[in-house]
């Protein structure tokens, strides 16, 4: 399984023609204690870069963007019930949605783990 990242701090993990998307460890650290998550509707078609979810913390509300185009095939209802999971397991069990890839070539626009770490180093 390959994981990619966006400059907006979403991660995307590819499994065949489906991908799982969430917010990065860095994003959850910046947010602080997450208190609310709004998930996308299953079946919704989205374009790369489109806002698909919202995460709110005690500090701020942030949009979650889809790293790729496709159709939402699952939303993580556990987050709606327990938004704090984002703080506990941002790059694991606290995924936001799963998407069926419309164009795998869009993955070329994303960063691999090493490139993302280098990008984070430029932010401080």
Domain range for 105 is 2-113
Q: Is residue 78 in a domain?
A: yes
pLDDT digits (tens, 9 = 90+) for 50-100: 999 999 999 989 999 999 999 999 999 999 999 999 999 999 999 999 999
CATH code assigned at 71? 2.40.50.100
State the pLDDT confidence band at 104, using cuts at 50, 70 and 90. very high
CA distance 66 to 16: 17
Q: Does pTM surpass 0.85?
A: yes
Query: DSSP of 28-77, one letter per residue?
Result: HHHH-SEEEEEPPPTT-EE-TT-EEEEEEESS-EEEEE-SS-EEEEEE-H
State the pLDDT confidence band at 1, using cuts at 50, 70 and 90. confident
């Amino acid at each position: 399984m390959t994981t990619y990242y966006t400059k907006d701090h979403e991660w995307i993990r590819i499994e065949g023609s489906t991908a799982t998307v969430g917010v990065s460890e860095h994003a959850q650290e910046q947010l602080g204690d997450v208190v609310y998550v709004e998930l996308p509707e299953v079946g919704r078609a989205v374009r790369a870069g489109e806002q698909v979810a919202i995460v709110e913390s005690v500090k701020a509300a942030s949009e979650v963007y889809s790293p790729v185009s496709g159709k939402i095939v699952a939303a993580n209802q556990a987050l709606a019930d327990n938004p704090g999971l984002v703080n506990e397991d941002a790059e694991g069990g606290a995924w936001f949605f799963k998407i069926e890839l419309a164009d795998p070539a869009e993955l070329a626009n994303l960063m691999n783990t090493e490139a993302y770490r280098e990008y984070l180093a430029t932010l401080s």
